[in-house]
């Protein structure tokens, strides 16, 4: 059974159709990224899945308890961090795990009022609140926005830990490096539809352009594009050998995930 | 149930940390009580008979109409509601917690005024305490639901303050606590009857009469119904 299955989802705000028959499937236990340029419909899609927004057509099924960290989240200014955690935990009949609080550095925020926390600290608190109900599926909308290096590292460790526990994680992000490091699969949204679904490697294969190869020889630096890396590199090495040039170094530059994403969304948004 | 109980306790503490609630529920009514109590009793000694009731109606109207709406606007006019909702806490919980907490604060204030009036100014104890308490609870609930309409209906803090004052002033001036309502023109008296303070003051001062209870209960259902509709819309 899939953790999340979305079929032909349609949602409009007035005359503006934001989701135009969205199809998505997320397997249990995987870390999934929903990507797209601003206004592509990511947050609307997530809010429809989370039950925060109604939709006109389509089907959404979510199999498991959800924990959600919203992109725009807030709490009363006069609540203390630990009080918020206690309230949410009691309401869900659970308790805040000390290990989780330590990983996210919530203990140090304990008695501070929400209104006095920095954006990064608020982000960490909202992440802890999303986890306090021991969810099977965790939604993270731009989880690293506002986090410092330590915070990002803590999040990475936490996601790895959640993955080991078999939890499903759905996240949105504009940081492609992060997506590549964290996610098993991804889907790219453009104009309210999925234009790509698969692994980061599949995206590179589908959208990545020829590899750029730089050969440093004793006499010169040779730079060329390789359609077939193995074949083209071998024939260039043969040429160097025939010319008696000693090869000192070989560099291969591939299209980054970011470049693949840009190319795909640029084409789709035309 | 455990979550709801903790929520009320937490909201109570948060209200005390929030300056608006502290000022509207405690500081201003107490300051007003000390000032006006002294003046009333010295120029009209017979006002001792109604001092507790007058000050209680003032405190409840002020605490409810000025104190409660900002808490509701903070919850329903921002993303707080969404955060609660995605964490499995239903949307109505914010309203219920704010109402229960404000009810407790205002009940405590009423008890304080009751005692202080007796100790400081020789205020008279109402002849029938049971009826007094029932009338007090009815007035409190109706005033809070009326304030709830403002807090749920207007989602902007600045506009909420304006609406709160626009309701609070006529509520007090037309309620008959400072001068008899019979002196007002029929139109103004009619306007005054739309406010819980009008019927509440009659119940607290004049005894438990059905002719005063029924309109107040009617207002309670009216404002309560509007709150439910607004909550559903939210």
Nearest-by-Cβ selection for B10 from A87, A113, A133: A87
Nearest-by-Cβ selection for A88 from B14, B82, B87: B87
Phi/psi of residue A23, each to 5°? -120, 130
Residues B165-178 have pLDDT tens digits of 999 999 998 888 87
Tell me the two tokens of residue B232.
């559903």
How many Å apart are CA A206 and CA B66, to the nearest integer? 61
Q: Which residues numbered 40-99 in A keep a CB inside 8 Å of some CB on B?
A: 50, 52, 66-68, 70, 72-79, 83, 86-88, 90-93
Q: B6–A75: do the CB atoms touch at under 8 Å?
A: no
Alpha carbon of A95: minimum distance to chain B alpha carbons (Å): 12
pLDDT band at A268 (very low <50, low <70, confident <90, very high): low
Nearest-by-Cβ selection for A75 from B13, B83, B88: B83
Phi/psi of residue A192, each to 5°? 80, 10
How many Å apart are CA A46 and CA A130, to the nearest integer? 15
Q: A90–B86: do the CB atoms touch at under 8 Å?
A: no
How many Å apart are CA A15 and CA A28, to the nearest integer? 35
Q: Which residue has the higher pLDDT, A269 or A145?
A: A145
How many Å apart are CA B208 and CA B137, to the nearest integer? 13
Residue of A nearest to B88 (CA): A92
Alpha carbon of A68: minimum distance to chain B alpha carbons (Å): 6
**Candidate from A137-151, A156-170, B62-76 with smallest mean pLDDT:** A137-151
Q: Which residue has the higher pLDDT, A146 or A196?
A: A196
Q: A74–B83: do the CB atoms touch at under 8 Å?
A: yes
Q: B86–A133: do the CB atoms touch at under 8 Å?
A: no
Residue of A nearest to B20 (CA): A78
Give chain B's radius of gyration (CA, Å). Answer: 18
Residues A69-118 have pLDDT tens digits of 888 889 998 999 888 888 888 888 887 776 777 777 777 777 889 999 88
pLDDT of residue A32: 94
How many Å apart are CA A80 and CA A86, to the nearest integer? 10
Q: Which residues numbered 94-113 in A keep a CB inside 8 Å of some CB on B?
A: 113
Q: Give the best residue of B8, B10, B90 to mutate against chain A (max A CB count within 10 A).
A: B10
Look at the alpha carbons of A19, A23, A29, A34 in this order and tell me if their dihedral is positive or negative: negative
Q: Which residues of A touch B17 (CB under 8 A)?
A: 78, 113
pLDDT band at B140 (very low <50, low <70, confident <90, very high): very high
Q: Where are the domains of chain A?
A: 27-199, 210-254
Tell me the two tokens of residue B204.
């607290």
Contact B160, B70 (CB under 8 A): yes
pLDDT of residue B148: 96
Q: Which residues of B touch A52 (CB under 8 A)?
A: 82, 85-86
pLDDT of residue A134: 85
Q: Which residues of A touch B3 (CB under 8 A)?
A: 87, 90-93
Whether the pLDDT of residue B151 is over 90: the answer is yes
pLDDT of residue A270: 58
Tell me the two tokens of residue A259.
């470049």
pLDDT band at A210 (very low <50, low <70, confident <90, very high): low
Size of interface A-B (CB pairs under 8 A): 65
pLDDT of residue B64: 93
Whether the pLDDT of residue B180 is over 70: the answer is yes
Residues B16-71 have pLDDT tens digits of 888 888 888 888 888 988 888 888 878 887 777 888 888 999 999 999 999 999 99
Alpha carbon of B180: minimum distance to chain A alpha carbons (Å): 41
pLDDT of residue A269: 58
Nearest alpha-carbon partner for A178 in A142, A202, A129: A142
b/e A51-85 (16+ beta carbons within 10 angstroms → b):
ebbebeebebebeeebbbbbbebbbbbbbbbbbbb
Residue of A nearest to B77 (CA): A74
Nearest-by-Cβ selection for A70 from B6, B13, B83: B83
Residues B110-126 have pLDDT tens digits of 999 999 888 888 777 88
Nearest-by-Cβ selection for B14 from A66, A76, A129: A76
The kind and range of the H/E element at A168 are: strand A168-172
Nearest alpha-carbon partner for B77 in B160, B194, B191, B178: B160
Q: A68–B87: do the CB atoms touch at under 8 Å?
A: yes
Q: At A135, is the secondary structure helix, strand, or coil?
A: coil
Nearest alpha-carbon partner for A105 in A154, A146, A163: A154
Q: B80–A75: do the CB atoms touch at under 8 Å?
A: yes
Q: Which residues of A touch B86 (CB under 8 A)?
A: 50, 52, 66, 68, 70, 130
pLDDT of residue B182: 79
Contact A8, A19 (CB under 8 A): no
Look at the alpha carbons of B121, B127, B132, B133 in this order and tell me if their dihedral is positive or negative: positive
Q: Give the best residue of B83, B90, B155 to mutate against chain A (max A CB count within 10 A).
A: B83
Residues in chain B: 234
Q: Which residues of B touch A72 (CB under 8 A)?
A: 79, 82
Strands A137-141 and A66-69: parallel
Beta bridge partners of A186: A33, A198
Contact A17, A29 (CB under 8 A): no
Tell me the two tokens of residue A138.
């965790």
* Of the ranges A132-146, A192-206, B131-145, B179-193, the best mean pLDDT one: B131-145
Q: Which residues of A touch B87 (CB under 8 A)?
A: 67-68, 88, 91-92, 129-130, 132-133
Phi/psi of residue A100, each to 5°? -65, -45
Phi/psi of residue A16, each to 5°? -90, 115
Nearest-by-Cβ selection for A86 from B6, B74, B80: B6
- Per DSSP, helices labelled H in chain B are 2-17, 19-22, 28-43, 51-62, 68-76, 80-86, 93-121, 129-153, 157-173, 186-192, 196-206, 210-233
pLDDT of residue B185: 85
| Average pLDDT value for residue range B199-224 | 90
Q: B82–A83: do the CB atoms touch at under 8 Å?
A: no
What ipTM, to 2 d.p.? 0.79
pLDDT of residue B195: 93
Collect all residues with Cβ–Cβ distance below 8 Å to A63 and sequence separation of at least 6: A1, A2, A3, A4, A28, A136, A137
Residue of B nearest to A48 (CA): B86
pLDDT of residue B102: 93
Distance set, CA B198 to CA B33, B145, B150, B177, B194 (Å): 19, 15, 19, 8, 8
Q: Sheet containing A16-26: which strands, arranged edge to edge?
A: A16-26, A4-13, A57-62
Q: Which residues numbered 166-225 in A keep a CB inside 8 Å of some CB on B?
A: none
Residues B71-114 have pLDDT tens digits of 999 899 888 988 888 888 888 999 999 999 999 999 999 999 99
- CATH number listed for the domain at residues A27-199: 3.40.50.300
């Amino acid at each position: 059974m899939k953790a999340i299955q979305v079929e032909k989802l349609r949602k409009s705000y007035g005359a503006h159709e934001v989701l135009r028959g969205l199809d998505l499937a997320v397997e249990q236990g995987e870390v999934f990224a929903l990507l797209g340029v601003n206004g592509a419909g990511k947050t609307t899609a997530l809010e429809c899945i989370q039950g925060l927004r109604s939709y006109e057509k389509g089907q959404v099924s979510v199999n498991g308890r959800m924990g959600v960290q919203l992109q725009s989240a807030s709490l009363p200014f006069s609540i203390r961090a630990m009080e918020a955690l206690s309230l949410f935990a009691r309401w869900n009949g659970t308790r805040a795990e000390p290990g989780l609080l330590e990983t996210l550095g919530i203990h140090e925020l304990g008695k501070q009022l929400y209104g006095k926390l920095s954006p990064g600290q608020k982000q960490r608190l909202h992440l802890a609140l999303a986890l306090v109900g021991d969810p099977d599926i965790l939604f993270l909308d731009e989880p690293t926005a506002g986090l410092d290096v330590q915070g990002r590292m803590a999040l990475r460790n936490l996601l790895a830990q959640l993955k080991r526990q078999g939890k499903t994680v759905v996240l949105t992000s504009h940081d492609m490096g992060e997506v590549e490091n964290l996610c098993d699969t991804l889907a790219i949204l453009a104009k309210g539809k999925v234009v790509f679904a698969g692994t980061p490697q599949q995206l590179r294969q589908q959208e990545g352009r020829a590899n750029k190869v730089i050969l440093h020889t004793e006499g010169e630096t040779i730079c060329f594009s390789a359609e077939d890396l193995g074949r083209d590199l071998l024939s260039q090495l043969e040429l160097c050998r025939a010319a008696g040039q000693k090869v000192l170094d070989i560099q291969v530059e591939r299209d980054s995930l970011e470049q693949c994403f840009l190319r795909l969304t640029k084409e789709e948004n035309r | 149930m455990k979550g709801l109980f903790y929520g009320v306790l937490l909201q109570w503490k948060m209200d005390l940390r929030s300056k608006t609630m502290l000022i509207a529920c405690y500081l201003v009514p107490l300051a007003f009580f000390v000032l006006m109590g002294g003046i009333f009793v010295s120029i009209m000694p017979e006002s001792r008979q109604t001092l507790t009731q007058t000050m209680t109606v003032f405190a409840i109207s002020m605490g409810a109409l000025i104190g409660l709406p900002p808490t509701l606007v903070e919850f329903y006019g921002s993303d707080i509601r969404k955060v609660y909702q995605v964490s499995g806490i239903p949307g109505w919980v914010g309203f219920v917690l704010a109402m229960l907490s404000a009810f407790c604060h205002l009940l405590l204030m009423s008890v304080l005024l009751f005692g202080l009036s007796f100790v400081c100014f020789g205020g008279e104890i109402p002849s029938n305490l049971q009826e007094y308490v029932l009338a007090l609870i009815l007035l409190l609930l109706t005033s809070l639901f009326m304030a709830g309409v403002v807090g749920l209906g207007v989602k902007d803090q600045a506009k909420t303050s304006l609406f709160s004052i626009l309701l609070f002033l006529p509520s007090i001036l037309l309620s008959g606590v400072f001068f008899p309502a019979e002196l007002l023109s029929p139109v103004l008296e009619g306007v005054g009857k739309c406010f819980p303070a009008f019927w509440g003051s009659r119940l607290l001062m004049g005894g438990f009469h059905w002719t005063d209870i029924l309109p107040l209960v009617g207002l309670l259902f009216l404002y309560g119904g509007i709150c439910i509709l607004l909550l559903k819309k939210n």
